[in-house]
Amino acid sequence: MMKEIFLHSADVQLTKPLATSWLAPSNIAFIKYWGKKEVQLPVNASLSMTLQNALTTTSLQAVPADKRSVSFFFEGSERPDFLSKIETFFQRISNYIPWINNAAFTIKSSNSFPHSAGIASSASAMAALALALADADAQLTGQPLDDTFYRKASFLARLASGSAARSVYGGYAAWGSHAHLSSSSDEYAVAINEAVHPRFKQMHDDILLINKQPKAISSSAGHQLMQQHPFLQGRISQANKNFERLCYAMTQGDLDVFAEIVENEAFTLHALMMSSEKSFSLLHPNTLLAIHEIRAFRKQTGIPLCFTLDAGPNVHLIYPEMYYDKVKPFVTESLTRLCTGETILYDNIGKGPRKIEKEI
């Protein structure tokens, strides 16, 4: 079992202070992770594109101590309200990195995007923290920052937030075991860039900020509602089919099938919310108006612009970079007016996380 490579001896101890800083991007899922089992294992395989501009930077310092303690600072201010989430994460990983039980941590984090923007931040935040911890561990054990290191970082990130497991890689990543992808695992994400057609190498994700209000229902509550969802089995088989078809479309460079599946997944995510026992919707009227405009534009022009949605009302515009000059005027004329404060965050496929020298 792969899990064994992540376990190491309890003899590894922190004997002197160490520090590291990592920058990790957010990602946008094309096949959605919605519903989990046991400890942070997905009910279906998901697939995402890592972004370039929406980033979290995290500096971690660890000092030897009798027992574990954590201080957390977000954008310069101490934030004890984040500690319970970090503590749950540390408890989950303490079997894999036992020395964290004898360390005093100072963690400082900041985002490249405004925190009120309503774009998901747990993926980038938890990926940056997991990478910093995996790196601190690698410094102690002498492990190089190779593929195994990134797999371990993804495994740790998953235990903080499922979508964070995918942010450990640049380009495209898949998380969750799928018969079609032999390297896939429920325990960690894998990069899936090699077979991707050149048409998918330069993609945009321009985010229409439809509404910045905090979510009425958290993603965690949404995942929980999936456990009793009347459509759970149907969703799992749909996701498995969509995953396989999307992988095939991406190796063939088929933008039409890509658009069909990506939009189907976006609608399914919100349909699952609406049809769960405690029904809810995170959509805004302008979300639907934007979708209507996007589909009409695609029909009229033949330009393969499609949309996806996260767990919120904001609309992500997905299209190849080569169409930017044609998409931009359409966005300005027809979509900007649907955004709060007329805000659009222009983003692209990104190269993934990296270690940085400067502490924040």
Question: Can you tell me the distance from the alpha carbon of 346 to that of 205, in angstroms, rounded to the nearest whole number?
Answer: 7
Nearer Cβ to ligand DP6 (185/219): 219
Nearer Cβ to ligand DP6 (34/150): 34
Nearer Cβ to ligand DP6 (135/310): 310
Strand 69-74 relative to strand 189-191, pairing: unpaired
Nearer Cβ to ligand DP6 (238/252): 238
Q: Looking at residues 111 to 140 of the shown chain, list those that interact with ligand DP6 (rule: CB under 6 A).
A: 120, 122
Q: Looking at residues 196 to 235 of the shown chain, list those that interact with ligand DP6 (rule: CB under 6 A).
A: 219-220, 223
Please report whether residue 310 would count as binding ligand DP6 according to CB under 6 A: yes
Query: Which one, of 330, 358, 310, 280, lies nearest residue 51 by Cα?
Result: 310
Nearer Cβ to ligand DP6 (311/339): 311
Please report whether residue 276 would count as binding ligand DP6 according to CB under 6 A: no
Please report whether residue 161 would count as binding ligand DP6 according to CB under 6 A: yes
Nearer Cβ to ligand DP6 (103/127): 127
Please report whether residue 32 would count as binding ligand DP6 according to CB under 6 A: yes
Of 30-38, 91-99, 138-146, 196-204: span binding ligand DP6 (CB under 6 A): 30-38
Nearer Cβ to ligand DP6 (108/270): 270
Query: Which one, of 184, 310, 199, lies nearest residue 257 by Cα?
Result: 199
Nearer Cβ to ligand DP6 (138/171): 171
Shortest separation between residue 144's beta carbon and ligand DP6, angstroms: 28
Please report whether residue 242 would count as binding ligand DP6 according to CB under 6 A: no
Of 10-18, 62-70, 155-163, 203-211: span binding ligand DP6 (CB under 6 A): 155-163
**Pick from 45, 138, 225, 311: which binds ligand DP6 (CB under 6 A)?**
311
Please report whether residue 50 would count as binding ligand DP6 according to CB under 6 A: no
Please report whether residue 29 would count as binding ligand DP6 according to CB under 6 A: yes
Please report whether residue 316 would count as binding ligand DP6 according to CB under 6 A: no
Q: What is the 3 state secondary structure string of the chain?
A: CHHHHHCCCCCCCCCCCEEEEEEEEEEEEEECCCCEECCCEECCCEEEEEEEEEEEEEEEEEEECCCCEEEEEECCEECHHHHHHHHHHHHHHCCCCHHHHHEEEEEEEEECCCHHHCCCCHHHHHHHHHHHHHHHHHHHHCCCCCHHHHHHHHHHHHHHCHHHHHHHCCCEEEECCECCECCCCCCCEEECCCCCCHHHCCEEEEEECCCCCCCCCCHHHHHHHHCCCCCHHHHHHHHHHHHHHHHHHHHHCCHHHHHHHHHHHHHHHHHHHHCCCCCCCCCCHHHHHHHHHHHHHHHHHCCCCEEEECCCCCEEEEEEHHHHHHHHHHHHHHHHHHCHHHCEEEEEECCCCEEECCCC
Of 31-39, 187-195, 299-307, 334-342: span binding ligand DP6 (CB under 6 A): 31-39
Shortest separation between residue 119's beta carbon and ligand DP6, angstroms: 10
Please report whether residue 291 would count as binding ligand DP6 according to CB under 6 A: no
Q: Which residues bind ligand DP6 (CB under 6 A)?
A: 29, 32-34, 40, 46, 120, 122, 161-163, 219-220, 223, 269, 310-311
